[in-house]
Amino acid sequence: MTSKNVIAQSLKQPKSISIIGGGISGLSAAYYASKAFPATKVHLFEASDRLGGWINSERINLGNYGTALIESGPRTLRPNGVSGALVLDLIDKLGLESSLLSASKSSPAAKNRFIYHPDRLNQLPSSLASIPSALLKYKTLRAIPAAILNDIKTPAHKREENEDESVDAFFRRRFGDKIADNIASAVIHGIYATDSRDLSLRTAFPLLYKLEQRAGSVVKGLLKGVGKDKKEEALELAILDGISPSLRATMQTASIFSFKNGISEIVQTLESALHKNNNVEIYKSSPVKAITQQPNKDFVIDTQNGLSLESSHLISSIPAKQLSLQKLKLSIPVLKSPDVAVVTLVYPQTELPITGFGYLIPRSTPRQKNPHGVLGVVLDSDAMPKQDPKPITKLTVMLGGPYGLKSFDDDHLKNMAIETAVNQLSDNLHTPIASKVSVARSCIPTYPPGYQSTLQELHDSLSTDYDSRFAVIGSSFTGISVGDCVRSGWETIESYKAFGKATGLERWKR
Domain boundaries, the chain: 16-53+262-334+447-499, 57-74+85-109+337-440, 136-230
Of 394, 399, 291, 341, nearest in space to 20 by CA = 291
Q: Specify whether the CB–CB gap between 508 and 453 falls below 8 A.
A: no
Mean pLDDT, rounded, for 477-483? 95
Q: How confident is the model at residue 6 (pLDDT cuts 50, 70, 90)?
A: very low
What is the overall mean pLDDT for the chain? 94
Q: What is the pLDDT of residue 340?
A: 97
Give the domain 57-74+85-109+337-440 fold: Polyamine Oxidase; Chain A, domain 2 (3.90.660)
Give the tens place of pLDDT for each residue, 221-252: 999 989 888 999 999 999 999 999 999 999 99
Q: How confident is the model at residue 10 (pLDDT cuts 50, 70, 90)?
A: low
CATH of 136-230, one of 3.40.50.300, 1.10.10.10, 2.20.25.90, 1.10.3110.10: 1.10.3110.10
Q: What is the pLDDT of residue 11?
A: 54
% of the chain exceeding 90 in pLDDT: 90
Give the tens place of pLDDT for each residue, 129-153: 888 999 999 999 999 999 999 999 9
Mean pLDDT, rounded, for 437-450? 96
Query: Rounded to whole angstroms, how far apart are CA atoms 403 and 339?
Result: 9
Q: How confident is the model at residue 7 (pLDDT cuts 50, 70, 90)?
A: very low
Query: Rounded to whole angstroms, how far apart are CA atoms 460 and 509?
Result: 7
Asked whether residue 310 carries a pLDDT value surpassing 50, the answer given is yes
Q: What are phi and psi of 118, to 5 degrees?
A: -75, -20
Helix or strand holding residue 343 (H, E): strand 340-348
Asked whether residue 176 carries a pLDDT value surpassing 50, the answer given is yes
For residue 187, the Cα-to-chain-centroid distance in whole angstroms is: 14
Residues 6+ apart with CB under 8 A from 362: 115, 117, 181, 182, 183, 184, 185, 186, 189
Residue 296 has a CB neighbour count (10 Å cut-off) of: 7
DSSP string, 48-109: SSSSBTT--EEEEE-GGG-EEEEESS---B---HHHHHHHHHHHHHHT-GGGEEEEETTSHH
Of 101, 68, 441, 26, nearest in space to 267 by CA = 26
Q: What is the pLDDT of residue 227?
A: 86
Task: Residue count of the chain, please give it.
Answer: 510
Among 70-79, 194-203, 326-335, 412-421, the range scoring the smallest mean pLDDT is: 326-335
User: Would you say the CATH fold of 136-230 matches that of 16-53+262-334+447-499?
Assistant: no
Q: How confident is the model at residue 510 (pLDDT cuts 50, 70, 90)?
A: low
Q: Specify whether the CB–CB gap between 22 and 318 falls below 8 A.
A: no
Query: Rounded to whole angstroms, how far apart are CA atoms 20 and 250?
Result: 35
Query: Rounded to whole angstroms, how far apart are CA atoms 51 and 21?
Result: 9
Q: What is the pLDDT of residue 21?
A: 98
Q: How confident is the model at residue 8 (pLDDT cuts 50, 70, 90)?
A: very low
Among 199-208, 220-229, 367-376, 412-421, the range scoring the smallest mean pLDDT is: 220-229
Tell me the CB-side half-sphere exposure of residue 315, using CA atoms within 13 A. 37
Give the domain 16-53+262-334+447-499 fold: FAD/NAD(P)-binding domain (3.50.50)
Order the strands of the 299-303 sheet from edge to edge.
288-293, 299-303, 308-311
| The pairing of beta strand 340-348 with beta strand 358-360 | unpaired
Q: What is the pLDDT of residue 150?
A: 96
Give the tens place of pLDDT for each residue, 311-347: 999 999 999 999 998 989 898 988 999 999 999 999 9
Mean pLDDT, rounded, for 394-416? 97
Residue 314 has a CB neighbour count (10 Å cut-off) of: 23
Q: What is the pLDDT of residue 220?
A: 95
